[in-house]
Chains A and B, each alone.
Chain A
Amino acid sequence: MRDGLGSSPAEAPLGAAEGAIRAARRWFRGSGIGGQVVSLAVVMGLFAIGTGGRYLTLTNIQVILSLAAIPTIIAVGLHQVVVLGGIDLSVEGVVALCVVFVGLLIKNNMNGNDVGLWIVPITLGVGALAGLVSGLCNTKLAIPSFIATLGMSWLLWGLAVFVSQGQTVALLDQRFHPFVTGSVLGIPNLAILAVLLTAGLQLVQDKSQFGRYLYAIGGDEVLAKQAGVKVDRVKIVVFTLAGFLYGLAALLLTTRLGGSQAITGNNLLFPAVTAVAVGGVALTGGIGGARNAALGALIVTALNDGLILMHVNPYAQDAVNGVVLVVAVALTIDRKKLGFIK
């Protein structure tokens, strides 16, 4: 039956352009990053021309690096769920909740709390816990990841707004501020952190047992399970780690902004999913690593930054991201694995 599925008349191909598209697809897909590096160069080139060179100033490069850091951390968390073959739409909810926690527990202008450095493990813990719950819903309750995480997002978001009473909190504890805004040798600290996290996770993916299991499940979950992979356990770890990283992103975001409100996390999901797809992590799973997610985030940030510099309507960013997302997924998805499109 496999024979018929890939070429069923239910999905009509794009005709003459198919050859070129197939070549492009082969190029983009895969844990190799050749396609992504070239895309980045192309994007930057186009904007360099479009902005008459303003795009390539040192200041702007630093801005891009600094802006890309947090989406990178989120994308790196998200992409592992995608490698498994699922999707994690809970980003905004988790971030919202963590942001609110940071705002209310750290020294602020609303209440007398002052947990100081404890905020770090607390935030990371809250994020991880949220991820754990998503993972449990997906594995033990057998709820598809997309609904489980979508539901979680709203659940946590509502909780966040409720806890914060919809108010904006100003942070008085400034101890993190120098770190999140500072730089070393011209490179923003956040960027360095993002790179270290990416490299670390990539190392784990390449060289550990866990990494093998991750890709085995993504490649063929049924066969992986038969070979003895403890699928549920791996999935739960992946979701928990994702939540952990979202928590980290929330912490950095809040301390950089100096204030916390529940809506801080809004508009983080779309670029993160786009980043993962653009980076070459196939939605069908089994392909793509941390460095792909990071590069994808860089490309998306570079793209959005260029749009801003060229004074494109800010509301158009979602539209551009939407198109880029659809194109990126179309190029990286493994249609044979997917079977019929629903």
Chain B
Amino acid sequence: MDTSSARREPVFELRRVSKSYPGVVALDAMDFAVYPKEIVGLVGENGAGKSTLMKILVGLVQPDSGSLHLRGERVTLVDPAAAVRYGVGMVFQEGSLVPNLSILENLFLCHEAGFRRAGFLKKRAMRETAERVLAEVNVHVEVDSIVSGISPALRQMVEIARLLWLSTLYKKANPILILDEPTTVLTEGERTTLFGILRTIKERASVIFISHRLQEVMENSDRIVILKDGRKVKELPAEEARLEEIERLMVGQAFSVDRYREEEQAPPRKEELLSVTKLKKKGAFEALSFGVKRGEILGLVGLVGSGKEEICKCLSGLSKADGGTVKLAGRELVPGSPSDAVASGQGHVPIDRRSEGLALNMTVAKNVNLLVLEFLKSAGLVSPKKEKANAAKWIEECRIKAPSPSTACGNLSGGNQQKAVMAKWLSSSVKLLVLDHPTRGVDVGARDDIYRLIRKLAKDGIGMVIMCDTFEEDIGLSHRLLVLKDGRLVAEVPCPPGKKPNPSDIIGLVV
């Protein structure tokens, strides 16, 4: 496991760390170590546990069991600010610089004590230090610039510089920098610059970076760690890594046939339901066209930055495309209008059911009936009796397990909440349903119920566009996959029952 000479001591180590959320095991007795002066590439699918691992490393989340050891000592990182004092810091994907402050102010925020004189800050000294610190990462820029106006690449460098500076401030040798998908927002040239800087940083720090671009990981890390299902599947020196092997380890080899109710997958009907023509959005995806038939389940696969999420948002009117049209059952949808999409018969099951799918403090019955109140009237007013009947019907249909229809949605488990969201749309007779990671955070039992629902919907002639957490799920559920990469449609893969492709076949197309 160690690459060169002597046996090295890890600078940061997680021992048998586990973390679970209701219904989901995020990390399963994970052992993870970071050695001094190395770059570690961390790869894995969504749901593999990368995010949770990172959050534990920087103190955002506490493990359920296991221990953390920094420079030989056992530690508890209560929050990111504490982690930073130990020399462990993270650069988030979106960045965590305060947007209305300048680079200078952000660099030293909360740690300006050294620059204080008689209550005021010595601006000149700060500026000099800032310029020096930024020069160490090869950045030369006007430090008074406001952060909201600078490029994402520059913002990343400022954050890296800050973390490095803080580690010298707190006299921590070999700081650990964690970068979460740093290259997603960078251009080709900026990526090269970044990795060049990381190599110079390596001389006095360790870097962990998460990326889905496997080629990049192989070229720029010293060591690669592969996670799957909350466990470390393998770690190996980068020079020994081969792309196919990494891909295989990430997604798994065996494909469990019965998990997705494959036998219930009936061929789609003939009529075209959704027709997307030359839809494009600057910065997200280029002109693409595709169609969905009635009763067909179309899966969109691609990694971060592929554009699939943006496509779905455009379909549902949550986002405006820059060009192209979306037609549902022959009717062209008004761009950027969810109410038009819904009125035309489209539904959207969002990725975040708590904040986007349900009114948590309101009852299951009310949530389920939200879209069909017009039809539950008698004598011009909404009829409580009809409300109750409708709610009961769909609760049963979707197998929502709740103490009563008057239970608040906030009190349901994740799986039942998801079913409630689907019930809401189903009750409104949607023609097309967009499902954004429908089984995320849902326990196994509820997952099966959801698959059952999806199969039933297809049989009833409802079309679906689906994005799942794992390739396996995408393959298992869909009739057809559209493979997206960097905003372009690169392949279309049929997934007929009994002849499903392997996840490892797909991943090659995606990365």
Contact = CB atoms under 8 A, between A and B. Distances in A.
Interface stretch (B105-113, B150-158, B215-223, B387-395): B105-113
Interface in A192-223: 203, 207-209, 212-213, 215-216, 218-220, 223
B100 A215 contact: yes
Contacts of A167: none
A228 B99 contact: no
B144 to A, nearest CB: 12
A224 B147 CA distance: 14
Given A208-B121, A227-B109, A229-B110, A4 B319 contact: yes
Contacts of A7: 320, 336
B98 A228 contact: no
Interface in B89-128: 96-101, 105, 109-113, 116, 119-121, 123
A219 B121 contact: no
A216 B98 contact: yes
Interface residues of A, number: 24
A127 to B, nearest CB: 23
B319 A228 contact: no
Nearest to A208: B120
B320 A220 contact: no
A4 B318 contact: yes
Contacts of B98: 215-216, 219-220, 223-224, 227
Interface string B359-402: 00000000000000000000000000000000000000000000
A296 interface: no
B164 interface: no
Task: Determine which residue in B110, B123, B313 has the highest number of CB atoms from chain A within 10 A of its CB, and name it.
Answer: B110
Contact of A227 (B81, B318, B319): B81
Contacts of A9: 336-337, 339
Interface string A75-86: 000000000000
A209 B356 contact: no
Interface string B146-177: 00000000000000000000000000000000
B475 interface: no
Contact of B109 (A4, A208, A212): A212
A287 interface: yes
B80 interface: yes
Given A207-B123, A209-B112, A228 B84 contact: yes
B372 to A, nearest CB: 21
A228 B336 contact: no
Contacts of B113: 209
Contacts of A286: 100
A215 B111 contact: no
A196 B227 CA distance: 62
A226 interface: yes
Nearest to B339: A9
A217 to B, nearest CB: 9
Nearest to B97: A223
Given A4-B318, A7-B336, A212 B120 contact: no
A219 B116 contact: no
Interface in B212-234: none
A162 B356 CA distance: 49
A18 interface: no
Interface string A300-314: 000000000000000
Interface in A278-299: 286-287
B66 to A, nearest CB: 24
Interface string B335-367: 011110000000000000000100000000000
A142 to B, nearest CB: 17
A228 B109 contact: yes
Contacts of B96: 223, 226-227
B490 to A, nearest CB: 24
Contacts of B119: 208
A3 interface: yes
B486 to A, nearest CB: 19
Contacts of B110: 213, 227-229
20 contacts: A1-B356, A4-B318, A9-B337, A9-B339, A207-B120, A208-B121, A209-B121, A216-B98, A216-B101, A218-B100, A219-B99, A219-B100, A219-B101, A220-B99, A220-B100, A223-B96, A224-B98, A224-B109, A226-B81, A229-B110
Given A203-B120, A228-B84, 6 more contacts: A9-B336, A207-B123, A212-B109, A212-B121, A220-B100, A286-B100
Interface of A: 1, 3-4, 7, 9, 203, 207-209, 212-213, 215-216, 218-220, 223-224, 226-229, 286-287
